[in-house]
């Protein structure tokens, strides 16, 4: 299964990708996580990406296309994968097509901007392993500590309200047109966000006929 997760920032793509990854035994690939690691390690890509990310802007397509090509060449991608947060522009989608990548499904999680803005406030991530939590909807067992690796939980710099507003604008302008792009290819599966992770997961599995 080759799957793309579409949806606004904070729609729950990462959470649903992790659930599907476990169920299907294929990796979930988040360009956001790859970039955050690169920023932390201070690699050339990280140094370049940081200013875009902090401002809630998209990192240039060439950088993303390179990262994805390298990641998809890894042996664990042979049986399939879930892309979370990529493609994010028509240019990225076209580049994947040109590289011969064919997707089975493009899942689009539909959620209002108002709900996103409320939700981002409580979002936390583990700075060590990238696992995600929410202070109300998906809390860790010990506040501030990752259940998986014991790392410290933090709020992403780009989850601050002003940046979230800008990221939503970027989503509507640059990423939302991908829905039409994949609808034309007959593989768009829209699902409505539900009040809980479990309920959303249920509609996701139904949409994918799993
Ligand atoms: P995410 O974790 O997916 O919300 O990504 C966090 C940030 O990383 C975004 O706001 C962008 O600055 C950058 N980023 C992640 N994926 C992409 C992508 N496919 N194209 C451009 N920028 C990206």
How many residues make up the chain in this entry? 210
Annotated catalytic sites, by residue?
13, 88, 123, 156, 167
pLDDT in tens, 2-42: 999 999 999 999 999 999 999 999 999 999 999 999 999 99
63 CA to centre of ligand 1 in angstroms: 11
Report the pocket of ligand 1 as residue ranges, CB < 6 Å.
9, 31-32, 35, 52-53, 56-59, 64, 85-86, 88, 92, 158, 167
Nearest CA to ligand 1 atom 12: 53
93-115: buried (b, 16+ CB within 10 Å) or exposed (e) per residue? Answer: bebbeeeebebebbbbbebeeee
Question: Residue 162's pLDDT is what?
Answer: 87
pTM: 0.90
Q: How far apart are CA 119 and CA 137, in angstroms?
A: 9
pLDDT in tens, 88-99: 999 999 999 999
Indicate which atom in ligand 1 lies nearest the CA of residue 87.
19
């Amino acid at each position: 299964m080759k799957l793309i997760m579409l949806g606004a920032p904070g729609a729950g793509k990462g959470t649903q990708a992790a659930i599907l990854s476990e169920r299907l035994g294929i990796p979930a690939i988040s360009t956001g996580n790859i970039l955050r690691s690169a920023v932390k390690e201070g690699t050339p890509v990280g140094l370049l990406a940081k200013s875009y990310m902090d401002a809630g802007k998209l990192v240039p397509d060439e950088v993303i296309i390179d990262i994805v090509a390298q990641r998809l060449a890894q042996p664990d991608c042979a049986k399939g994968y879930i892309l979370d947060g990529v493609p994010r522009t028509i240019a990225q989608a076209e580049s994947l097509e040109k590289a011969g990548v064919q997707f089975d499904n493009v899942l689009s999680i539909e959620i209002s901007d108002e709900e996103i803005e409320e939700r981002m406030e409580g979002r936390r991530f583990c700075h060590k392993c990238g696992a995600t939590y929410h202070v109300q909807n998906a809390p860790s067992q010990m506040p501030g500590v990752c259940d998986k690796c014991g790392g410290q939980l933090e709020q992403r710099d780009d989850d601050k309200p002003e940046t979230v507003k800008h990221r939503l604008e970027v989503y509507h302008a640059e990423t939302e047109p991908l829905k039409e792009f994949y609808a034309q290819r007959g593989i768009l599966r829209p699902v409505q966000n539900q009040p809980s992770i479990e309920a959303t997961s249920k509609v996701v599995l139904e949409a994918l006929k799993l």
